[in-house]
Amino acid sequence: MSRRILVMVVAAVLTAAACTTATDTSESSTTTLGTTTTVAETSTSSTTTVPSTTTTSTIPDSTGFPVTVDAPNGSVTIEAQPERIVSLSPTSTEVLFAVGAGDQVVAVDNQSTYPAVAPVTDLTGFEPSLEAIAGYDADLVILMYDPGEVIAGLEAIGIPVIMHPAAVTLDDVYWQIEQVGRATGHNAEAERLISSMVEGITDASASVDGEGLTYYHELSPDYYTATSSTFVGSLYALFGLENIADGADPDGFGYPQLSPEHILNEDPAMIFLADTKCCDQDASTVAARPGWDVLGAVASENIIELDDDVASRWGPRVVDFVEAIAHAVEGYREP
């Protein structure tokens, strides 16, 4: 799958998840990931405590199981601590290992590149195969979205499924981690992870001020990007950075394709590359683009080469991404 197609597929999934969250909020607080959608609200809530929706999971007895989790796909009951977990989401894979459930994971999708010990298979989260998933004798499946009847099919054969779509806010991230902890029997580890993340993000975002600086976040070398309305954009907003893509997304899609002319006209103070691994982009390739040598970010060497995976997932390594932004702002050079 080409980078451009992958960007568009992922963008569609993320946007669909965001729209679902906004729509479902008015119906039930227990079936959504969160209610915060604006950048201002995200900036405020992101450094606070875990949202009240974390109380929707229940542990009825002293043994810890069965556990009932009110996930976006409905109420999910897990009778005993899972021993054969299948993850079809790179973010969920990272969360599982971060809360100490790695030994219970028997298979992950082909995009789950972290941690290195994760049991990568040919499974795909974009087009999940019911038969392939069932072949791992799973007792819990976690996925990002359901393109058809996969969830219904798994439930029909007795396999509990938790759907954790793309986060819209940081509180969504914390809530998903809390649910994974409960569902796998690692409650305390999940709570410690959340506390550590909140502290790390709070410290990093408070350490520098990027007010007045503009930026361009590149998803692919054909200029797909993310606006401030996206989860990624909300992280930049923590520093007061201004996104040059916001005025080029009239439909509010969140992931527009900019023209080279727009980028050159906006002349962003900083350029963040989230296509270094997929597409071999770096400061030198950006500087070599026609006309880009006149950009302030190029001339002053304010081009930040990100890890694609860290910059595109909403799990524990969000802290690393926020710290990378903080470091870039701190090291900003005037043109």
> Does a cis peptide bond (omega within 30 degrees of 0) precede residue 147?
no
How far apart (Å, rounded) are the C-alpha atoms in residues 335 and 321? Answer: 25
- b/e map 178-190, b = 16+ CB within 10 Å: bbbbbbbbbbebb
Q: Token pair of 231, please?
A: 């989860």
**What pLDDT, on a 0 to 100 scale, did the predictor assign at position 5?**
46
Q: Using DSSP bridges, classify how beta strands 85-88 and 140-143 pair: parallel, antiparallel or unpaired.
A: parallel
* Rounded Cα–Cα distance for residues 169 and 177 (Å): 13
Q: Which of 206, 325, 203, 205 is nearest to 270 (CA)?
A: 325
Q: pLDDT for 276-329, tens place per residue?
A: 999 999 999 999 999 999 999 999 999 999 999 999 999 999 999 999 999 999
If DSSP states are collapsed to H, E and C, what string results for 295-330? CHHHHCCCEEECCHHHHHCCCCCHHHHHHHHHHHHH
Q: Using CA atoms, how far apart are residues 284 and 273, in angstroms rounded to an integer?
A: 12
Q: Max CA-CA distance within the chain?
A: 66
pTM of the model: 0.83
Would you say residue 40 has pLDDT above 50? no
Instruction: Summarize pLDDT for 63-76 with one digit per residue, the tens.
Output: 589 999 999 999 99
Percentage of the chain exceeding pLDDT 90? 79
Question: Is it the case that residue 20 has pLDDT exceeding 60?
Answer: no
Question: Token pair 């683009």 is at which residue?
Answer: 289
Q: What is the pLDDT of residue 148?
A: 86
Q: Which residue spans within 153-258 are E strands per DSSP?
A: 161-163, 214-218, 242-243
In sequence order, what are the beta bridge partners of 157? none
Q: Structural domains in the chain?
A: 3-201 (3.40.50.1980), 208-330 (3.40.50.1980)
Residues of the chain with pLDDT > 70, as a percent, come to 81
Q: What is the pLDDT of residues 167-216, one digit of tens each?
A: 999 999 999 999 999 999 999 999 999 999 999 999 999 999 999 999 99
What pairing do the DSSP bridges indicate for beta strands 67-71 and 74-78? antiparallel
Class of residue 221 by CB neighbours under 10 A (exposed 0-12, middle 13-18, buried 19+): middle
Is pLDDT at 62 greater than 90 in this prediction? Answer: no
Answer whether 218's CB lies under 8 Å from 271's CB. yes
